[in-house]
Amino acid sequence: MDKSRFPLHGTRRVVTEHRNRIGPLRKHKLVCVTLSLRRKVNPENTLRHFARLKKKRYLSVAQAIQRFSHRPKDEAAVRRFAREYDLECKDVQPGLIQVCGSVANINRAFDVTLSLYAEERFDAPYHDLDEEPTLPAYLAGVVTGVFGLDSHPAGRRRGITKKMTAGVISPPPVTIRTRRPAEFADLYGFPLGATGRGQSIGLLEFGGGFRSHSLKSYFASVAIPLPRIVVRQISPAANRPRDKRGTLNPDTEVYLDI
């Protein structure tokens, strides 16, 4: 390996032997990669310090960002790296910088070869790499992780395979014992007058999606205001509904979660 570069161990995903390589990823395809940077202060040390205090002390969001963000000189080093390999810094957050570019430039920047793979257990192919990515020596100690060089599915629902069909599981029939969502508030003794104002719930979804008009119709049918839903898409995943009927499909899971 070129001595002017160093390997970032632990970045490459542990791969399965049961995957088939389809071929190289199209060199003009856009890929975005997130680099994690060292922080000004070690978060674990700070948390241990606060845990030992007799009087609880809390940091504001602004204080936490200031304390746990990366150093300006480290950001400058990453921007230099991006310029050298014709990548664009798309998003900068405390401790994280996203760089985007063509597959050809990403391959050069990280000294890898991105290829397309397929596995029987997944519905769609994904891109991945076979070698450990490397970075220029001047980023040693600056970059602590690289995320996004592969689009390998992060997870899947256990017990469900793509060979199963929606007809395998049928929804229960509506009876006199069927309850509307609002009735569960009484069954569980939910506080009267509580609206959830100012509260948020995070949902992680691994496939499927929803359509806004379907949610509007449902919430109108149960006389509940439509909640504000913010979708945070982690590339290459997206809100991608398949519009299939039946209980056993990703869209249904997403609708149930919401």
Report pLDDT for 108: 96
Mean per-residue pLDDT for 23-52? 84
Report pLDDT for 110: 95
Examine the pLDDT at 118 and tell me if it is beyond 80.
Answer: yes
| Per-residue pLDDT band at 167 (split at 50, 70, 90) | very low
Report pLDDT for 127: 87
Query: For residue 152, which of 186, 122, 197 has the smallest C-alpha distance?
Result: 122
User: In the chain, at which residue ranges do the beta strands (DSSP E only) sit?
Assistant: 5-7, 19-24, 30-37, 88-93, 96-102, 115-119, 126-128, 134-136, 143-147
Residue, of 226 and 169, whose pLDDT is higher: 226
Distance of CA 143 to the CA centre of its chain: 19
The β-bridge partners of 91 are: 98
Report pLDDT for 168: 47
Report pLDDT for 170: 57
The tokens of 79 are what?
A: 């921007």
Report pLDDT for 246: 60
Report pLDDT for 166: 46
The mean of the pLDDT values for the chain is: 82
Residue, of 167 and 143, whose pLDDT is higher: 143
Residues 6 or more apart whose CB falls under 8 angstroms from that of 213 comprise: none
Question: Domain-by-domain residue ranges, the chain?
Answer: 5-147, 155-258
The tokens of 20 are what?
A: 């088939």
Examine the pLDDT at 137 and tell me if it is beyond 70.
Answer: yes
d(CA 257, CA 253): 6
Q: Which amino acid is at 14?
A: V
Out of 1-5, 7-11, 147-151, 202-206, pick the least confident.
Answer: 1-5
The tokens of 77 are what?
A: 């080093």
Report pLDDT for 185: 78
Residue, of 238 and 70, whose pLDDT is higher: 70
Report pLDDT for 190: 80
Examine the pLDDT at 2 and tell me if it is beyond 90.
Answer: no
Mean per-residue pLDDT for 132-161? 82
Q: How would you label 192-227 residue by residue, b for 16+ Cβ within 10 Å and e otherwise?
A: eeeeeeeeeeeeebebbbbeeeeeeeeeeeeeeeee
Q: Measure the CA angle with vertex 107, ends 102 and 111; round to 5°.
A: 155
Evaluated on CA atoms 106, 107, 109, 112, the torsion sign reads: positive
Residues 6 or more apart whose CB falls under 8 angstroms from that of 240 comprise: 208, 209
